[in-house]
Amino acid sequence: MKSAAPGKVYLVGAGPGDPELLTLKAKRLLETCDHVVYDYLVSESLLDWTRPDCQKHCVGKRAGFHSVPQEEIERMLVRLSSDGKTVVRLKGGDPFIFGRGGEEALTLKRAGVAFEVVPAVTAALGCAAYIGIPLTHRALSASVTFLSGHEMPETGGQTASVNWRAHAATGATLVLYMAMGQLTEICAELIAGGRPETTPVAVVQWGTTPRQRAVHGTLTNIGERVRAADLGPPSVVIIGDVARFGDTLSWFDPVI
């Protein structure tokens, strides 16, 4: 008996939220795949592009709530790709920027499953653009650093894996993912590391979508302003002199 053709998994970035920021390759794969394994942050309108017989698997994954453990997601990708099936693992933002795509790719590699990575507009780029903040500017910032503010279990629930004071001294634009739970503490560390208290900060929630909201402030008051506005995840924090442009170059008018 002839064995079934091997399947394939595509680790596809869904972008920051606006469906029109999806790549053409990602759209083509959604239109032709057998299975879609998607996250909570993915716009469900993207699923409308799939075939009627495509099987859809929601695996949740949001701050403080994982409906399916990461290890089970990885096992699912291996299982679904058997018998020649094509699987799209649809992930919010870009798969390889705080998306755990590297872990999934390693599991697929070890299991002998063919895979491809389809990059996307990551949240930092999308949110900054939609709020009118250039992450680099010839006169203000020649570098950008992406950082995770997520509590790491291996550090006892602290962000000790990130030396905030060292990053304060670089002068780079800082873009923080998953930092809402420790925003005030992180800002204090940056000030202790030498960043001026008056450094502009912008926080963007649900960026690039009709639900987009933004709060502006400085390292000293952004935590208080975020609490007053009741902003929570998913949010991106932009720290640096370029954040001041959010007051003048904002062009996106979200309609809720």
Catalytic amino acids?
39, 61
With contact defined as beta carbons under 8 Å apart, do 212 and 186 qualify?
no
- The string of DSSP letters for 16-65 reads SS-GGGS-HHHHHHHHH-SEEEE-TTS-GGGGGGS-TT-EEEE---BTTB
Helices (H), the chain: 24-32, 70-80, 101-111, 123-131, 164-168, 183-192, 222-229
Contact between 226 and 175 (Cβ < 8 Å): no
What φ, ψ does residue 75 adopt, rounded to 5°?
-65, -35
Region of residue 81 (phi > 0: left; psi between -120 and 50: alpha; otherwise: beta):
alpha
Could you tell me which residues come within 8 angstroms of residue 218 by beta carbon, excluding any fewer than 6 positions away?
197, 198, 199, 200, 201
